[in-house]
Amino acid sequence: MQSFRTELENPIVERDIIELEKKIRAFREGNIPEEKFRSLRLARGVYGQRQQGVQMVRIKLPYGKMTLQQWHRIADISDEYSTGNLHLTTRQDIQIHFVSLDRTPELWSKLELDDITIREACGNTVRNITASDRAGIDPEEPFDITPYADAAFRYFLRNPICQDMGRKIKMAFSSSEKDSAWTFMHDFGMIPKVKEINGKTVRGFKVLVGGGLGAQPFLAKTAFEFLEEDLLIPYIENVLRVFDRYGERASRHKARMKFLVQKLGWEEFDRLVKEEYKAVKNKSVKVDVDGYENTVPPVTGAVPAFTIRNQQQFETWKATNVFEQKQSGYFAAYVKVTLGNISSVTSRKLIEALRPVIADDVRVTANQGLLLKYILPEHLPYVYSVLEAEGYAAPGFDSIADITACPGTDTCNLAISSSTGIAEALENVIAAEFPDLVHNKDIKIKISGCMNSCGQHGIASIGFHGSSLKSGGKVLPALQVLLGGGIVGDGEGRVADKVIKVPSRRGPDVLRALLHNYEINALPEEKFNQYYDRQGEKYFYELLKPLADLTSLSDEAYVDWGQAEQFATAIGVGECAGVVIDLVATLLLEAEEKLELGAAALVQGAYADGIYHAYSVFVQAAKALLLGEGVTCNTQTGVINDFDKTFVATGLFSFEKDFRTLVLQINENEPTETFAGTYFKQAEEFYAKAQAYRVEKAAAVQA
Predicted confidence (pLDDT) per residue in 582-624, tens digit: 367 778 888 998 999 999 999 999 999 999 999 999 999 999 9
Give the residue-averaged pLDDT of 53-77: 95
Residue 703: the pLDDT is 58
What does the pLDDT look like over 176-219, one tens digit per residue?
999 999 999 999 999 999 999 999 999 999 999 999 988 888 99
Average pLDDT for residues 365-391, to the nearest whole number?
97
pTM of this prediction exceeds 0.85: yes
Identify the band that residue 7 occupies on the pLDDT scale cut at 50, 70 and 90. low
Residues forming beta bridges with residue 448, ordered by sequence position: 465
Q: Residue 8 has what pLDDT?
A: 61
Residue 411 has pLDDT above 90, yes or no: no
pLDDT band at residue 53 under the 50/70/90 scheme: confident
Least confident range of 331-340, 403-412, 490-499, 601-610:
403-412
Q: What is the pLDDT of residue 702?
A: 64
Higher pLDDT residue, 132 or 702? 132
Q: Could you tell me the CA-to-CA distances from 162 to 47, 168, 304 in Å, in that order?
A: 19, 9, 50
Output DSSP code: residue 379. Answer: G
Burial code (b: 16+ CB inside 10 Å, e: under 16) for 191-212 equals bbbeeeeeeeeebbbbbbbbbb
**pLDDT recorded at residue 581:** 35
Distances (CA, A) of 50 to 35, 42, 407, 479: 17, 15, 11, 20
Nearest to 643 by CA among 656, 680, 627, 694: 627
Q: Which of 540, 478, 407 is nearest to 51 (CA)?
A: 407
Nearest Cα to 504, choosing from 453, 448, 456?
448
Task: Specify whether the CB–CB gap between 480 and 493 falls below 8 A.
Answer: no
Q: Which domains does the chain have, with CATH numbers?
A: 11-112 (3.90.480.20), 138-279 (3.30.413.10), 311-389 (3.90.480.10), 404-558 (3.30.413.10), 584-702 (1.20.120.330)
What is the rounded distance in angstroms from the CA atom of residue 461 to the CA atom of residue 483?
5
Higher pLDDT, 349 or 37: 349
CB 168 within 8 A of CB 125: yes
Strand partners, 203: 194
CA angle centred on 300, ends 292 and 86, rounded to 5°: 65
In tens, the pLDDT along 241-266 reads 999 999 998 887 889 999 999 999 99
Cα distances (Å, whole numbers) of residue 393 to 89, 314, 439, 442: 20, 8, 15, 21
pLDDT score for 583: 61
Question: Which of the four pLDDT bands, split at 50, 70 and 90, describes residue 377?
Answer: very high
Rounded-to-5 percentages of helix, strand, coil across the chain? 45, 15, 40
Tally: H helices and E strands in the chain: 20, 22
* Spatial contact of 170 and 186, defined as CB atoms under 8 Å apart: yes
Chain segment 507-554, per-residue pLDDT in tens: 999 999 999 999 999 999 999 999 999 999 999 999 999 999 999 899
Residue 80 has pLDDT above 70, yes or no: yes
Lowest-confidence region among 204-208, 280-284, 288-292, 523-527:
288-292
How high is the mean pLDDT of the chain? 92
In terms of Cβ atoms closer than 10 Å to its own Cβ (0-12, 13-18, 19+), residue 287 is buried
For the chain, give the percent of residues with pLDDT over 70.
96
Q: Is the pLDDT of residue 579 over 50?
A: no
Q: What is the pLDDT of residues 115-150, one digit of tens each?
A: 999 999 988 999 999 999 999 999 999 999 999 999
- How sure is the predictor about 505, in pLDDT bands with cuts at 50, 70 and 90? very high
pLDDT band at 2 (very low <50, low <70, confident <90, very high): very low
| pLDDT(580) > 60 | no
Residue 306, SS3 per DSSP: coil
- Name residues whose C-beta falls within 8 Å of residue 34's C-beta, 6 or more positions apart in sequence: 27
What pLDDT score does 81 carry? 95
Q: In the β-sheet with 94-99, what is the strand arrangement from edge to edge?
A: 46-48, 55-59, 94-99, 85-88, 341-343
Of 234-243, 462-471, 571-580, which range is least confident?
Answer: 571-580
Of 451-460, 535-544, 645-654, the one with minimum mean pLDDT is: 451-460
Per-residue pLDDT tens digits for 145-176: 999 999 999 999 999 999 989 999 999 999 99
Between 576 and 624, whose confidence is greater?
Answer: 624
Q: In Å, what is the CA distance from 666 to each residue of 281, 617, 648? A: 11, 13, 20
For residues 214 and 402, give the distance between their C-alpha atoms in angstroms, rounded to a whole number: 22
Task: Give the integer Cα–Cα distance in Å for 368 and 427.
Answer: 15
Residue 415 has pLDDT above 80, yes or no: no
Give me the torsion for CA of 327, 333, 337, 343, rounded to 10°: -90
pLDDT band at 54 (very low <50, low <70, confident <90, very high): confident
**42-59 in b/e burial notation, b at 16+ Cβ within 10 A?**
bbbbbbbbbeeebbbbbb
Instruction: Identify the pLDDT of residue 1.
Output: 47
Mode of pairing for the β-strands spanning 497-503 and 94-99? unpaired
